Amino acid sequence: MDIKPVVAEPTDEERAAVDALLGAPPSGWQGGERSAEDSHVAFSVGSSGLGRPDLLPALEAVQARVGWISEGALGYVCNRLNVPPADAWGVATFYALLGTTPRPRRVLHVCDDIACRVRGALKIVGGLNQMQAALAHEPSGDHVIVDADATTWMHSPCLGMCDMAPAALMISAGAPAIEYAIGGATVDGLRSLLEGRAKARGADSSTALGMTKAGPSAAPQGDSAEEPPLPQFGSASLTLLKRVGTVNPTSLDAYRAAGGFSALAKAREMGAERIISEVNEAKLVGRGGAAFPTGRKWESVRSQKNTPHYLVCNADESEPGTFKDRLLMTHDPFAVIESMAIAAFATGCEKGFIYLRAEYPLAFARLSSAVEQSRAAGVLDSFDVEIRRGAGAYICGEETAIFESIEGKRGEPRNKPPFPAQYGVFGKPTVVNNVETLVNVLPIVLDGGAHYATIGTPASTGTRLFCLSGAVARPGVYEVACGTSLRALFELAGGVPNDLQAVLLGGAAGNFIRADEIDLRLTMEDTRAAGVTLGSGVVMAFDASADMHDIVRRIAAFFRDESCGQCVPCRVGTVRQEESLHRIASGRTLGGVPAELALLEEIGQGMKDGSICGLGQTAYSAVESAMKRLRLYDGSE
């Protein structure tokens, strides 16, 4: 609206990328040729079923096809969707995986986040740097001419592959784009990728939907990580992971043969109220980090008169050190769809969104196939699922930022109230649940809430998935009953690490604990009493070889980079926090270490008290625990 003309024209390739997603322009008013009829009539973008929510997918389509979003491409997208260029620019520059300056087609995203750091990421980064400097996210100066077919690399925050650390992600723009994960990366392996060039650009495929066609299928041999085997494979105690590795994740028939969709059938017989009462009786709480009672959330949405209701499956698993949902989605995608259908049935939702982080190409392919097969087989009834991919923004896992992103906007969290149950995505009552939370609904429906509540402790029921990474013998996802001790969990993973220095619980937004605290029972009540959090189930171990100061600074840098910048305490606080840690590291403190620690405390309190959302409220947690629990800065000069 109020479009000020963007002078630059899109290239044919950019136009094709957008048209593949949105269809050919219906008129001269939306980027097509001006016809005689255009002189006397124009229809809104909405008349062809398009709208603002298509903005982010359209930008992603250009990115996937071309590798960056030029001014001409941006202008064309704006024309197609009737969005002001300044607005679209705001969106394009918000997401880290969207480039607004020229980039080569092939970009290697190399994780240098905490779990990969303790597994050699810095050595890899150093090795790559000798060959080619990393591409900055926001290059300064004028646009430079780039060799479009070359390969470049960028630093990346946690890619959710800590069990395969060190990890990298290759994204090669084209039609279709080729995206694949690289686990157990080596300097030499990545260097050879950096020497590679984009293949001859394929002719425009009329069926290729740009980015939605992108999948890991085309991964060259040797580059792609085999998903590591499930450490607990074959254990009879598994509930949530019981199908992982045993049931073909690409086949609806296989899922059905393993008892799949029986929970949905039973749920439909039970009726919505009974389902919710079972979930309440099970005392299921959210597994994404906030631990809100799921049944209460469902009741609240179910009772809303305002329709339609929406279901959002939060699959934007971006908390550093977290990769449990990735496993569920890649190895048991139908379970995610089935549990969404049950949640939707219980809460009166006709439509569900899976908001999936962009860094999970295999999960995207598996879920897309599962949705298509389920839809074709008619098992979803009137319920439908749409998969939305993120574009590299940690904040979009926040329960209201996710709505903004689905609506095609910058992922800036909303003020609450109103809460999602009243005013969620598109302003409608919305259930937003984490992947693991949803999958827990299957055993609750099948075996009853009362039975579920017998697992774990009275206050922390059921089993939980924990993501073990760092200095452990067998990293991976572990399913244990709530109440299992941290020590017992380490035993499952090959024993308590030698020279254990610290354990990070709950991710970057969680807390460090000391080696002498590992008898902690992993329940909500025990962690609360200890002043820590289970968060999203991150258990990251650091042995004596880890530079904890470096790890803490990396966490601070992560929050500074991922802060959406909307509210001042977080935008300024995360910067000030990181600066202070750097001053401590360099010895150039302002008035000595105690003064810096006092300043960190004050900044941290300001962020906790004044930030709009959980990001700012927890940005100090790990730093604080390093300071007070690990006594990391005691004796620093």
Partner 1 sequence: MFGAGGGTSSYEEVEDTDVVFLWGSNAREAHPIWFHHLLKGINSGTRLYVMDPRRTSSAQWADVWLGLNVGSDVALSNTMGREIIAAGLVDTAFVDNATVGFREYKANVESYTLERGEQLTGVPAEVIREAAHAFATAKKAMVCWTLGITEHHNAVDNVLSLINLCLLTGHVGKWGSGCNPLRGQNNVQGGGDMGAIPNRLPGFQEILDAPVRERFEQHWGVKIQPKHGWNLTEMLQAMGRGEMTSLFCIGENPAQSAADANHVEHVLAGLDHLVVQEIFLTKTAQLAHVVLPAGASWCEAEGTVTNSERRVQRCRKAVNPPEGARDELWIISELARRMGHDWHTPSAEEVWDEFRVVAPEFAGGMSYARLEALGGIQWPCPDESHPGSTFLHGRLQKVPREGLAAPLSVVHHSPPVEMPDAEYPFLLTTGRRLESYNTGVMTGGYESALHRGESLDVSPEDAAALGLVEGSSVRVSSRRGTLIAPVHVDDGLRRGLVFMTLHFPDEVNTNVLTIDVADPRSGTAEFKACAVRVETVLQQSMASD
Tokens (6 digits) for 218 = 């085309």
Tokens (6 digits) for 516 = 């002498």
Nearer to partner 1, 43 or 233 (CB): 43
Angle at the Cα of 268 from the Cα atoms of 264 and 273, rounded to 5 degrees: 115
- For residue 163, give the nearest of 255, 237, 92, 225 by alpha carbon: 225
State which of positions 428-467 bind partner 1 (CB under 8 A): none
Nearer to partner 1, 37 or 195 (CB): 37
Nearer to partner 1, 3 or 134 (CB): 3
In the complex, the smallest distance separating the C-beta of residue 29 from partner 1, rounded to whole angstroms, is 7
In the complex, the smallest distance separating the C-beta of residue 28 from partner 1, rounded to whole angstroms, is 8
Nearer to partner 1, 29 or 180 (CB): 29
In the complex, the smallest distance separating the C-beta of residue 4 from partner 1, rounded to whole angstroms, is 10
Does position 423 bind partner 1 by CB under 8 A?
Answer: no
Contact letters for partner 1, residues 476-515 (x by CB under 8 A): ----------------------------------------
Nearer to partner 1, 3 or 150 (CB): 3
Does position 195 bind partner 1 by CB under 8 A?
Answer: no
Nearer to partner 1, 53 or 295 (CB): 53
Q: Which range in 1-9, 343-351, 388-396, 407-415 contacts partner 1 by CB under 8 A?
A: 1-9
Q: Which range in 43-51, 284-292, 439-447, 496-504 contacts partner 1 by CB under 8 A?
A: 43-51
What kind and span of H or E run contains 107? strand 106-111
* Whether 151 contacts 106, CB under 8 Å: yes
* Whether 486 contacts 539, CB under 8 Å: yes
Does position 42 bind partner 1 by CB under 8 A?
Answer: yes
Residue 121's contacts (CB-CB under 8 Å, 6 or more residues apart) are 110, 111, 112, 113, 165, 166
Does position 3 bind partner 1 by CB under 8 A?
Answer: yes
* Whether 27 contacts 2, CB under 8 Å: no
In the complex, the smallest distance separating the C-beta of residue 39 from partner 1, rounded to whole angstroms, is 4
Does position 308 bind partner 1 by CB under 8 A?
Answer: no
Tokens (6 digits) for 502 = 């610290």
Does position 43 bind partner 1 by CB under 8 A?
Answer: yes
Contact letters for partner 1, residues 71-110 (x by CB under 8 A): -----------x----------------------------
In the complex, the smallest distance separating the C-beta of residue 594 from partner 1, rounded to whole angstroms, is 52
In the complex, the smallest distance separating the C-beta of residue 17 from partner 1, rounded to whole angstroms, is 24
Nearer to partner 1, 49 or 378 (CB): 49
In the complex, the smallest distance separating the C-beta of residue 525 from partner 1, rounded to whole angstroms, is 45
- Count of residues that bind partner 1 according to CB under 8 A: 15
445 — phi, psi (to 5°)? -70, -40
The order of strands in the sheet holding 511-514 is: 476-481, 463-470, 538-543, 500-505, 511-514
Does position 226 bind partner 1 by CB under 8 A?
Answer: no
Does position 46 bind partner 1 by CB under 8 A?
Answer: yes
- Alpha carbon distances (Å) from 88 to 56, 69, 138, 173, 561: 9, 11, 17, 21, 21
Does position 1 bind partner 1 by CB under 8 A?
Answer: yes
d(CA 307, CA 287): 27
State which of positions 22-41 bind partner 1 (CB under 8 A): 29, 34, 37, 39-41
Residue-wise burial string across 376-398, b where 16 or more C-beta atoms lie within 10 A, e elsewhere = eeebbeebbbebbbbbbbbbbbb
* Whether 80 contacts 50, CB under 8 Å: yes
Nearer to partner 1, 46 or 220 (CB): 46
Residue 512's contacts (CB-CB under 8 Å, 6 or more residues apart) are 502, 503, 504, 505, 548, 622, 625, 626, 629, 630
Q: At what angle do helices 435-447 and 272-282 cross, to 10 degrees?
A: 100
In the complex, the smallest distance separating the C-beta of residue 38 from partner 1, rounded to whole angstroms, is 8
d(CA 417, CA 414): 9
In the complex, the smallest distance separating the C-beta of residue 272 from partner 1, rounded to whole angstroms, is 28
With helix as H, strand as E and coil as C, how does 560-592 read?
A: HHHCCCCCHHHHHHHHHHHHHHHHHHHCCCCCC
By CB under 8 A, name the binding residues for partner 1: 1-3, 29, 34, 37, 39-44, 46-47, 82
